[in-house]
Structure 1
Amino acid sequence: MSRTAEYARLAAGGVIGVILIVYAAIFLTRTATTPDPSAPSPEITAIAAQRLDATEPPSADVAAPESRAGAPANSRQPAAPAAAPVAAPPSDFPRPLIIPVSGVPTGMLSDNYDDPRSGGREHRAIDIMAERGTPVLAADDGTIVKLFDSNRGGLTIYQFDPTETYSYYYAHLDAYADALEEGQSVERGDLIGYVGTSGNAPDSAPHLHFQISELDEDKSWWLGEPMNPFPILAGQ
């Protein structure tokens, strides 16, 4: 073979080698930069992590509420100290009362005692508006005679004054105070529950339904002659 032919053969082989090297480099680059279709994208990985966080079980330190005789399991301890009780101004009512919702002044009370209700009923109580969970306080000294759960009133408390002349009715509670039970003596201003919307109260309007009744001779907690709490609590 002539020298010219040999040089031509070597040159052709060199070109082919260069071409092979270039193709190999391109293939390796594409393999390194092309994602594995079976691997999840970063967005999917992030969403999965969020869902795992959301479904993480609660801490084992959180215990279920304890059920006690006379007090249902939906009682709780106060999350924060209650505001100072607001004393009702002097009135003709023979008992010194406080406004039974923590931090509510007399100026925020409304006289809705005679407001109509469904079925031709009359309200015969006042609604004291407050945020859900606001402490409900004993309006007077006395005894817790009944803890009751009804369709209309929801979680309720019936309290007698010390002379068993009057009963105080607290309704639509979110929960009872921890350890509250029937037969328990309370003093004016003691924590007995929390404002809520249990019973037939609208979820968007948490309030305490508060009624005062004069007891009859039988001293039955479900009987009595209601009287308007508004002038008593507002001092009118």
Structure 2
Amino acid sequence: MTRLGAIISAVIVLAVIGFASMLSFGPAPATPKQAGVSRDVPAPASTPTTSEGLRVPVAGVPRSAIRDSWGEAREGGARGHHGTDIMARAGTPVIAAADGWVEKLFESGRGGTTLYQRSADRRWTYYYAHLAGYAPGVREGMRVRAGQVLGYVGDTGDAGAGNYHLHFGLTRMHGDERWWQGDNVNPYPLLARQPAGR
């Protein structure tokens, strides 16, 4: 084989590998009626956004106060918890954990008043649930910056009256998946550790 032939063969192999990596061979994605995303995966070794990491999405809550509630039994053990609950007083501002845009404002039985934020690179969705309400001017499609107020801590949905907290979820997205699809990822390790360079 000539050198040119070897180079062409290598380019073809790389193109095939690249194309195959864009395909999804997992189970069919969930629908909104299935109440959320379809698969669970371990937390990534690095942050899903930048070297700055995720901000704690409840104003004034230190990283040390966050407890890992991933996988805890819900509904009498019928399902596991897919997120991190951050306890706070009613009405405490809920802030964007990273840059991105508001993809969906949604009312659900479990999550109550919820907000789905897509990351700036479209690879992640941040899920904010049990909100008391949205911040003034928050709307679908708007760009948000890390630290921007999105809403307020509440007890809507299945949180239980007086059980004020933010349920924060993290979903790894693939291609053009919609706001309710993707892979559940435990956000706790990304919220509890100090971002790089601080």
Q: TM-score, normalised by structure 1?
A: 0.60
- In structure 2, the partner of 1:165 is 123
Alpha-carbon distance in structure 2 between the residues aligned to 1:172 and 1:99? 16
1:113 counterpart (35, 56, 70) = 70
Count of aligned pairs = 146
Measured after TM superposition, the shift of residue 204 of structure 1 is: 2.2
- In structure 2, the partner of 1:146 is 104
Measured after TM superposition, the shift of residue 108 of structure 1 is: 0.6
1:233 counterpart (174, 191, 194) = 191
Alpha-carbon distance in structure 1 between the residues aligned to 2:47 and 2:100? 16
- In structure 2, the partner of 1:176 is 134
Alpha-carbon distance in structure 2 between the residues aligned to 1:98 and 1:234? 10
The letter of the residue matching 2:57 is: P
Measured after TM superposition, the shift of residue 218 of structure 1 is: 2.5
CA contact (8 A) 2:99 2:146 kept: yes
Describe how 1:54-93 pairs up with structure 2 within 5 A: 92-93=46-47
CA contact (8 A) 2:128 2:168 kept: yes
Alpha-carbon distance in structure 1 between the residues aligned to 2:54 and 2:74? 27
Unaligned runs of 5+ in 1: 1-90
Q: TM-score, normalised by structure 2?
A: 0.71
Alpha-carbon distance in structure 2 between the residues aligned to 1:185 and 1:205? 30
Alpha-carbon distance in structure 2 between the residues aligned to 1:228 and 1:212? 7
Q: Which has the higher contact order (CA 8 A, sep 6+)?
A: 2
Alpha-carbon distance in structure 1 between the residues aligned to 2:113 and 2:191? 23
CA contact (8 A) 1:126 1:229 kept: yes
Alpha-carbon distance in structure 2 between the residues aligned to 1:156 and 1:185? 17
- In structure 1, the partner of 2:154 is 196
- In structure 1, the partner of 2:89 is 131
**Structure with the largest fraction of strand:** 2
**Structure with the largest fraction of helix:** 1
Measured after TM superposition, the shift of residue 235 of structure 1 is: 1.4
- In structure 1, the partner of 2:58 is 101
Identity %: 45
Measured after TM superposition, the shift of residue 205 of structure 1 is: 1.3
The letter of the residue matching 1:228 is: N
Measured after TM superposition, the shift of residue 233 of structure 1 is: 0.7
Instruction: Find the residue that maps to 1:114 and give its secondary structure.
Output: coil
The letter of the residue matching 1:177 is: A
Instruction: Find the residue that maps to 1:232 and give its secondary structure.
Output: helix
Unaligned runs of 5+ in 2: 1-44
Single out whichever of 186-195 and 116-125 deviates more from structure 2: 116-125
